[in-house]
């Protein structure tokens, strides 16, 4: 079977964390029992682990030295659709890492290294997911048959119109085309990318993209490639230091930097993108107009 998801990682242990998250993307209804079955404790050669995953409450009871062996930070925890939260073991030396990589192939997950990660995307390493061979991950939520009923209704409407058409000899009847529009499956991907990209900050007075912003823009480009109807507006923002004219130009340069990266480095058609400078008119942190989080670029999906 061809691979469905590729994990780009920097550190070995975070690549394994990426593998587990790829599994949860592919199987959004997975339970803790499913996790233990998919990633058995046998992947670890050492230690007396009962599972590769524990609850935050179980982690809190461990001694300080043991706590450091787990991915316990808020952005590292695993969230299942049943509302439970899990912390994964962080200890993945070379031999165990290779076992995890080999094990991931069972779920059509492959591993590759993301080049930009070596240039400083976070001191603690990172990972990202790429969908391959036309694979579209399922959208989490309750399963619904609404589209089956819509299709059936459309067929009945067309059948009724056809019957009416055949029953009127010599009379021309114009049949209105029935179009069934499906849900856009990339909504969850867009929301996650938007959250990460909007958090990327600029250095004071500069419009250069950080490696973190480039990292997320690469993911955004993949979504745009898979959804050719998607159009975006990139909006640049500044904090309140400096004069208004300088901030207006700087914010426009920041937005344009993102557009240029998507066009020149990712091959996105420029007609699908627009850059707008907002200056310091829309502060993210209004209580502190000089705060670094105000120096940012955001993207908006255009209808």
Residue-wise pLDDT tens digits, 83-96 = 999 999 998 888 89
Q: What residue ranges do the domains of the chain occupy? A: 5-131, 141-182, 187-302
Grade residue 121 by pLDDT with cuts at 50, 70 and 90: very low
More confident residue, 131 or 119: 131
Q: Are 19 and 27 in contact (CB under 8 A)?
A: no
Task: Give the integer Cα–Cα distance in Å for 232 and 276.
Answer: 11
Residue-wise pLDDT tens digits, 249-290 = 888 888 888 889 889 988 999 999 998 988 888 888 888 888
Identify how many contiguous H helices and E strands the chain contains and give both numbers. Answer: 9, 10
Domain 187-302 fold is 60s Ribosomal Protein L30; Chain: A; (3.30.1330)
Determine how many CB atoms are found less than 10 A away from the CB of residue 264. Answer: 10
Beta strands in 15-172 (DSSP E): 53-54, 70-71, 78-79, 85-89, 109-112, 127-131
Backbone angles phi, psi at 111, to 5 degrees: -115, 140
How far, CA to CA in Å, does 289 sit from each of 238, 279, 286? 9, 12, 5
Determine how many CB atoms are found less than 10 A away from the CB of residue 219. Answer: 19
The lowest-confidence range among 57-66, 112-121, 218-227 is: 112-121
């Amino acid at each position: 079977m061809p691979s469905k998801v590729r994990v780009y990682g920097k550190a070995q242990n975070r690549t394994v964390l990426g593998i587990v998250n790829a599994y949860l993307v592919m199987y959004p209804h997975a339970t803790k029992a499913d996790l233990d079955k998919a990633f058995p404790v046998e992947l670890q050669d050492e230690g007396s682990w009962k599972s590769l995953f524990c609850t935050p409450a179980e982690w809190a009871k461990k001694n300080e030295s043991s706590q450091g062996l787990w991915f316990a930070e808020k952005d590292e925890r695993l969230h299942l659709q049943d509302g439970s939260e899990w912390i994964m073991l962080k200890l993945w030396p070379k031999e165990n890492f290779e076992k995890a990589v080999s094990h991931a192939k069972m779920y059509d997950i492959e591993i590759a290294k993301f080049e930009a990660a070596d240039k400083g995307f976070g001191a603690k390493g990172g990972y990202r997911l790429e969908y391959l061979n036309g694979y579209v991950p399922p959208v989490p939520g309750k399963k619904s048959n609404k589209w089956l009923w819509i299709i059936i209704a459309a067929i009945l409407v067309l059948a009724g119109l056809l019957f009416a058409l055949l029953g009127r000899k010599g009379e021309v009847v114009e049949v209105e085309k029935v179009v069934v529009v499906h849900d856009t499956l990339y909504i969850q991907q867009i929301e996650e990318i938007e959250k990460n990209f909007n958090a990327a900050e600029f250095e004071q007075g500069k419009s250069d993209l950080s490696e973190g912003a480039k990292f997320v823009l690469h993911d955004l480009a993949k979504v745009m490639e898979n959804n050719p109807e998607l159009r975006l507006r990139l909006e640049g923002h500044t904090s309140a230091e400096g004069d208004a004219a300088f901030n207006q130009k700087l914010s426009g340069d920041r937005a344009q930097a993102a557009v240029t990266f998507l066009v020149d480095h990712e091959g996105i058609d420029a007609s699908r993108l627009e850059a707008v400078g907002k200056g310091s008119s829309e502060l993210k942190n209004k209580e502190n107009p000089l705060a670094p989080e105000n120096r940012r670029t955001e993207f908006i999906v255009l209808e």
